Amino acid sequence: MTTRRLLLRTGATAAVALTAGAVSGTSAAAAPAAHPRRDALHQALDDVVATGASGALAELRDGDGVWRGGSGVAELGHSRPVPADGRFRVGSVTKTFVATVALQLVGEGRLGLDDPVERWLPKTLPAGDRITVRHLLQHRSGLYNYTDEVLSRVEDFIRDRYRTYRPRDLVALAADEPLLFEPGMSWSYCNTNYILLGLVIERVTRRAYGGEIARRILRPLRAWRTELPGTDPFIAGPHAHGYLPVERDGGIQPVDITAMNPSVAGAAGEMISTAADLNRFYRALLTGRLLRPAQLRAMTTQLAGPLEYGLGIFRVPLPSGTMLWGHTGGIPGYVTYALTTEDGGAQLAISLNPWGGDPSPALEQLVLTAFSGTAPTTRSATATAAVRIPLLDRGW
C-alpha cells in the first residue's frame, strides 16, 4: 500500500491528540496591521491542520507586504508550536530548481532541449536515443517511475529510511521496465526523469547538480536556508516533525519519519528549504532574473498533459482568471505548495505535515484566500472545488 493511499484511509481513525491544538502566529516581519487578510489566512491555515495535518506553516508575499503563519504543533505529543519560519523537506518543488539549471545551460549553448539522453548518458537507457532532455523536463519520456518501486510498502520504506541510493541505481529500476508509451507521444509524471536530469547536469558541467543549484540560484538569491542535503538524514534548525501513518496493533499509529536519507529522492525531491526562500526563488524565476527570455518562454509556454505541465513547472488557473505558476511536492512526512502569480507580483508557499484525513480542500481554500485580494465571505465547497492544485507525487 502506498503512503498516499494509507494517508487517505486514516481520516476517521487518526486519534492522536495535538496537545496544543491549533496554534497560529505571525512573525515579527508581519505585524498585525501589515496584512488586511491575516485573520482569514490564519483561519484557512487552522483548517488545514484541523482536516488532516499535525502542523502547517505558510508565507504570502504580495503588494500588502509579508504574512507568515503557523498552526498545529511541531511534534506530536508536545506543545511546541510549528515555527512559522521553519525549515522543511520540499519534495518535488526541487524539480523547478533542477529545470532552471538545465534551461540556464540551454541558454548558454551547452545543452540542447532536443539532445537525446544517449548523447550525455550513453548506455544508460535502452531508449536513450529516443528520449530527449525536453521529454525529461516535461515528463513525456514514457519511463517507469522508480518511486513506485521504492515506496511500494510503507513498512519497507521505514526500515530502509537511512539507506543511501545512488542515482544510477534508481535509474536502473526504471530502465529494467518497459516504456509506458513511445517518448513524446503522451504524458506521465515520473521522478526518474529528474534523476536523469541531475546526471545530465553533472555530465555537462562536471560538477554535482546540487553544487550547480547552489552556485547559480541559491547564492545569488541569498537563499541561505535552502540546501540539497545529499545523504544527511537530519533537518538542521527549527522545523516541524513529519509522520507516516502505519497500521499497527489494530489501529493507525504515527511513525516519526523526520530523519531519513534523502538520496532516495535525489534530484527529483531532496531539497530542504523555507517558505521565504521558495517565495524568493519563484519571484526571481517568473520575473526573468534566473532565465533568459527564450528559456523562460519555453518553460511556461510548452505545456503538456492534463495538468498543463511546462518544463519543470505547471500552471493553475483560479476562478478569478488569475494564473498561478509553481509546483507541489510530497516526500514522506511533508507536503509543499509553492505558487506565484504570472507577473511575479505575489507568492505563496505552504508546508504541512499530513496526518490523517484529507487537507486538500482546506489547502485549496488557503490558496484562494491568499490570491483573492480580499477575505472570502463564505468558505463553500463549491468555491473550494473551483481550484484544483495537483499533488503530483503519490509517495514524495
Query: How far is residue 304 CA from its own chain's centroid?
Result: 19
Cell triple for 99:
529545470
Q: What is the DSSP letter of 83?
A: P
Cell triple for 24:
497560529
CA distance 236 to 364: 29
The string of DSSP codes covering 37-61 is THHHHHHHHHHHHHHHEEEEEEEEE
Q: In this structure, how many other beta carbons lie within 10 angstroms of the beta carbon of residue 57?
A: 30
For CA atoms 249, 254, 260, 262, give the dihedral sign: positive
User: Strand locations in the chain, DSSP E?
Assistant: 53-62, 65-72, 87-89, 243-248, 251-256, 272-274, 314-317, 323-331, 334-341, 347-354
| The pairing of beta strand 347-354 with beta strand 334-341 | antiparallel
CA distance 215 to 291: 14
Q: Which residues pair with 304 in a beta bridge?
A: 309
List phi, psi (to 5°) of 329. Answer: -150, 140
CA distance 283 to 61: 10
Task: Determine whether 92 is an active site residue.
Answer: yes
For helices 167-175 and 192-205, the axis angle rounded to 10 degrees is: 130
Answer yes or no: are the C-beta atoms of 6 and 160 closer than 8 Å: no
List phi, psi (to 5°) of 243. Answer: -135, 155
Answer yes or no: are the C-beta atoms of 52 and 72 closer than 8 Å: no
Q: Which of 92, 141, 263, 351 is catalytic?
A: 92
The residue count of the chain comes to 396
List phi, psi (to 5°) of 385. Answer: -70, -10
Q: Which residues are catalytic?
A: 92
